[in-house]
């Protein structure tokens, strides 16, 4: 079968688990599954959401045998409502199965939220006396939130306890309301309710952290529970009592139900999935002692991982800063996606006025290619691309900047990959969209070549600047850091610039700098380059195509300077000191440049001694 799935917030535990289970089922049953959605909604800006939801309208739904909908992962700014309306009003669509969220008109595979909350609430209520029990709802506009509240009220009623609105906090299923929750539940005398039952783990974990930060102890001062059994719930200190809603059961039931419907078997429109109580430290009346040393070790590991991830994010952003053309921007994106080692193939497609275009890709683990191939709007990829096997899971992510939509990225998972979406993929897609927006804006305001020159060229001499030097020299090394050719660097420092500036003025100094730059440029070969690194300092990169190339370059610079002085009518003479060093690999570049600098300064010192000047 060929299945279309709509899933949002792909970096969160629930969405990741659903994707993993769908992938496993696709491999087992030889199905192809295409997933359309987003990594997350990073801002509260509705314009951003407009760009994100563009991906939900691109799949040719009639080409699929079935559709799986995870609408509660797409509930930001009404994304799911628009999608559900479109699915409900379209004609002759394949069967649609909604997972975990009850949607009218579709097949629904849903947890029995009311019963699940009833069971965990009844367990917590049995541990405390009286009515002093708090409850944190989910989002008030979601049906499962109302069902979970009803389950809590059922358990309270059965136990003969009264529900007080003063002890019900209206949450949002996320972690950002922890301070407000703590303020709500802390009483004037500083005590807490005997128990606080939360509608999901995110809110429960955030509340525990906030209360611990304020000096409270869990479960000594209050019992806290959640629902959903996030991975972090088991390793949190204290670990969180929760309920397990099996994503495997949800995904397996969805696939099996689609298979039955396609075969013509009868399938119930509502299939309830049970939960399982998991009691942990946050509700155990007898506190257990944790292994503090192990806890600190785990925290140090997490700290290092976060530091490494932050460093990676900075490096990714820097790569995009240097991408000043669409081709370069696409290539940077493909290189970073390939480096994740998650995807067998990736394709970057852009929307055009009357059709679509595959702009760049890597296929079957090969090298990234920029190759523009047009294809019709009713296709996701050109012929011959995509679904390399009969059990492929592919995700489709939007390429956009706010509400400006440029296209989409198609990522086909490698067969044995175990990891899935994380924050790095989200960062790549966000910065990619921002970079495209910047490039296209520059294109409207100026010629792109002019912008590139401003970015990588020195305004006075027309040579590369330091940034241009960095970009250009990196092209001479492969990914392992080995140079593709024999390379040497030459550090060149103009002699006497201060004297020229002080005696004849800075305009004369500028002309002298340009004169030396022209002499160096005349001495390099077509495949070599020179950059002005700042002030009177230049750096040339030479290709060692013969044993005497370095000496030849030095003689050529001297000869060009001599020629220039013979025809100049200025009261000063051009002069430059030169030092060189051969470079064997990328990691040695800075050391070699330092060696070339030392050789250059030694020559400069020798010249000053010959003129009777004191060395500085």
According to the model, what pLDDT value does residue 447 have? 56
Is residue 465 domain-resident?
yes
Domain at 511, CATH number: 3.30.70.270
pLDDT surpasses 80 at 586: no
According to the model, what pLDDT value does residue 133 have? 97
Mean pLDDT, rounded, for 483-495: 89
Share of the chain above pLDDT 90, in %: 62
Mean pLDDT, rounded, for 124-129: 95
**Residues near 95 by Cβ (< 8 Å), separated by ≥ 6?**
66, 67, 107, 258, 261, 262
* 238-248: b (≥16 Cβ within 10 Å) or e: bbbbbbbbbbe
According to the model, what pLDDT value does residue 273 have? 84
- Comparing 50-59, 321-330, 602-611, the range with the smallest average pLDDT is 602-611
Is residue 376 domain-resident?
no
User: Which tens digits make up the pLDDT trace of 414-427?
Assistant: 888 877 666 788 88
Nearest to 490 by CA among 547, 543, 424: 543
**Residues near 215 by Cβ (< 8 Å), separated by ≥ 6?**
none
User: Which tens digits make up the pLDDT trace of 250-273?
Assistant: 999 999 999 999 999 999 999 988
Is residue 240 domain-resident?
yes
- Torsion sign (Cα): 157, 189, 236, 41: positive
pLDDT surpasses 70 at 43: no
Please give the residue range of the domain that contains residue 193: 113-246+277-290
According to the model, what pLDDT value does residue 517 have? 96
Give the integer Cα–Cα distance in Å for 141 and 50: 21
Assign 507 to helix, strand or coil: helix
Contact status, residue 233 vs residue 240, Cβ threshold 8 Å: yes
- Comparing 332-346, 432-446, 602-616, the range with the smallest average pLDDT is 602-616
According to the model, what pLDDT value does residue 47 have? 63
According to the model, what pLDDT value does residue 145 have? 94
Q: What secondary structure, in 3-state letters, does 88-143 show?
A: HHCCCCCCEEEECCCCCCCEEEEECHHHHHHHHHHHHHCCCCCCCEEEEECCCCCH
Domain boundary among 262, 290, 318: 290
pLDDT surpasses 90 at 412: yes
**Which pair of structure tokens corresponds to residue 356?**
């679509």
According to the model, what pLDDT value does residue 464 have? 93
Contact status, residue 144 vs residue 101, Cβ threshold 8 Å: yes
Domain boundary among 290, 316, 342: 290
User: Which tens digits make up the pLDDT trace of 449-470?
Assistant: 555 666 788 889 999 998 889 8
DSSP bridge pairs for 408: 349, 398
Angle at 605 between CA 458 and CA 562, to 5 degrees: 60
Is residue 361 domain-resident?
no
Nearest to 529 by CA among 597, 578, 450, 476: 476
Domain at 132, CATH number: 3.40.50.2300
According to the model, what pLDDT value does residue 537 have? 95
Beta strand pairing call for 2-7 and 32-37: parallel
Is residue 56 domain-resident?
no
Contact status, residue 74 vs residue 427, Cβ threshold 8 Å: no
pLDDT classification of 287: cutoffs 50, 70, 90: low
Domain boundary among 232, 261, 290: 290
User: Which tens digits make up the pLDDT trace of 208-247?
Assistant: 999 999 999 999 999 999 998 888 898 898 999 999 878 8
Contact status, residue 259 vs residue 1, Cβ threshold 8 Å: yes
Helix, strand, coil content of the chain in percent (nearest 5):
45, 20, 35
**Which pair of structure tokens corresponds to residue 148?**
């979970």
Mean pLDDT, rounded, for 583-597: 87
Mean pLDDT, rounded, for 551-561: 96
User: Which tens digits make up the pLDDT trace of 129-155?
Assistant: 999 999 999 999 888 899 999 999 999
Q: Count CA atoms closer than 13 A to 91's CA, side-chain side.
A: 0
According to the model, what pLDDT value does residue 579 have? 95
Report the chain's mean pLDDT, rounded to a whole number.
Answer: 89
User: Which tens digits make up the pLDDT trace of 185-218?
Assistant: 999 999 999 999 999 999 999 999 999 999 999 9
According to the model, what pLDDT value does residue 616 have? 47
DSSP string covering 141-177:
T-HHHHHHHHHHHHHHHHTTPPP-GGGEEE--SSSTT
Q: Cis peptide before 566, with omega less than 30 degrees from 0?
A: no
Mean pLDDT, rounded, for 514-529: 95
pLDDT surpasses 90 at 13: no
According to the model, what pLDDT value does residue 80 have? 86
Which region, left, alpha or beta, applies to residue 402 given φ > 0 means left and ψ of -120 to 50 means alpha?
left
**DSSP H or E stretch at residue 411:** strand 404-413
Q: What secondary structure, in 3-state letters, does 472-493 show?
A: HHHCCECCCCEEEEEEEEEEEE
pLDDT surpasses 80 at 551: yes
**Which pair of structure tokens corresponds to residue 124?**
């917590």
Contact status, residue 241 vs residue 219, Cβ threshold 8 Å: no
Residue 588 CA: distances (Å) to CA of 480, 482, 489: 13, 10, 11
pTM (two decimals)? 0.66
pLDDT classification of 481: cutoffs 50, 70, 90: low
Is residue 463 domain-resident?
yes
Is residue 231 domain-resident?
yes
Domains contained in the chain, number: 2
Is residue 596 domain-resident?
yes
Mean pLDDT, rounded, for 539-557: 94
């Amino acid at each position: 079968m060929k299945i279309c799935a709509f899933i949002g917030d792909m970096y969160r535990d629930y969405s990741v688990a659903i994707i993993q289970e769908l992938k496993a089922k696709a491999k087992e049953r030889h199905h192809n599954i295409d997933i359309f959605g987003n990594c997350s909604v990073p801002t509260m800006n509705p314009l951003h959401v407009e760009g994100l939801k563009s991906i939900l309208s691109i799949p040719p739904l009639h080409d699929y045998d079935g559709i799986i909908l995870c609408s509660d992962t797409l509930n930001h700014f009404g994304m799911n409502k628009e999608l559900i309306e479109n699915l409900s009003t379209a004609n002759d669509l394949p069967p649609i199965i909604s997972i975990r969220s009850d949607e009218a008109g579709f097949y629904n595979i849903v947890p029995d939220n009311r019963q699940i909350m009833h069971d965990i609430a009844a367990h917590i209520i049995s541990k405390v006396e009286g009515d002093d029990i708090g409850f944190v709802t989910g989002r008030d506009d979601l049906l499962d939130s109302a069902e979970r509240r009803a389950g809590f009220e059922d358990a309270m009623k059965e136990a003969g306890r009264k529900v007080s609105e003063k002890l019900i906090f209206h949450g949002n299923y996320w972690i950002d309301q922890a301070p407000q929750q703590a303020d709500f539940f802390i009483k004037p005398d500083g005590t807490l309710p005997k128990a606080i039952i939360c509608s999901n783990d995110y809110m429960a974990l955030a509340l525990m952290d906030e209360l611990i930060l304020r000096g409270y102890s869990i479960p000594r001062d209050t019992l806290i529970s959640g629902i959903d059994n996030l991975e972090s719930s088991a390793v949190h200190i204290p670990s969180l009592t929760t309920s397990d809603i099996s994503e495997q059961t949800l995904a397996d039931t969805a696939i099996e139900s689609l298979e039955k419907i396609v075969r013509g078997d009868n399938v119930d429109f509502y299939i309830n999935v049970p939960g399982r109580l998991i009691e942990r430290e946050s509700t155990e009346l007898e506190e257990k002692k944790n292994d503090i040393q192990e806890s600190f070790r785990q925290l140090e590991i997490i700290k290092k991982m976060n530091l490494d991830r932050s460093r990676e994010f900075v490096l990714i952003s820097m790569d995009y800063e240097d991408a000043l053309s669409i081709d370069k921007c696409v290539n940077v994106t493909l290189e970073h996606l390939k480096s994740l080692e998650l995807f067998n193939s990736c394709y970057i497609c852009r929307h055009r006025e009357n059709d679509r275009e595959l702009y760049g890709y890597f296929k079957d683990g090969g090298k990234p290619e920029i190759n523009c191939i047009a294809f019709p709007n009713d296709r996701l990829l050109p012929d011959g691309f995509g679904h390399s096997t009969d059990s492929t899971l592919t995700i489709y992510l939007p390429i956009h900047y706010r509400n400006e939509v440029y296209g989409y990225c198609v990522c086909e998972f490698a067969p044995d990959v175990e990891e899935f979406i994380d924050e790095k993929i989200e960062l790549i897609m966000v910065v990619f969209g921002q970079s495209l927006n910047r490039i296209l804006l520059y294109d409207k305001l100026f010629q792109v070549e002019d912008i590139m020159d401003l970015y990588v060229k020195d305004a006075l001499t027309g040579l590369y600047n330091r940034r241009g030097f960095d970009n250009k020299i990196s092209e001479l090394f492969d990914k392992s850091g080995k140079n593709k050719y024999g390379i040497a660097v030459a550090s060149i420092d103009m002699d006497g610039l201060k004297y020229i500036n002080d005696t004849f003025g800075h305009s004369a100094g500028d002309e002298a700098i340009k004169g030396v730059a022209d002499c160096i440029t005349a001495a390099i070969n077509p495949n070599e380059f020179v950059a002005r690194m700042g002030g009177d300092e230049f750096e040339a990169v030479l290709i060692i195509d013969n044993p005497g190339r370095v000496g030849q370059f030095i003689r050529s610079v001297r000869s060009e300077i001599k020629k220039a002085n013979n025809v100049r009518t200025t009261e000063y003479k051009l002069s430059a000191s030169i030092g060189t060093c051969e470079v064997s690999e990328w990691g040695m570049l800075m050391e070699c440049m330092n060696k070339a600098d030392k050789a250059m300064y030694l020559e400069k010192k020798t010249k000053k001694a010959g003129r009777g000047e004191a060395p500085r």
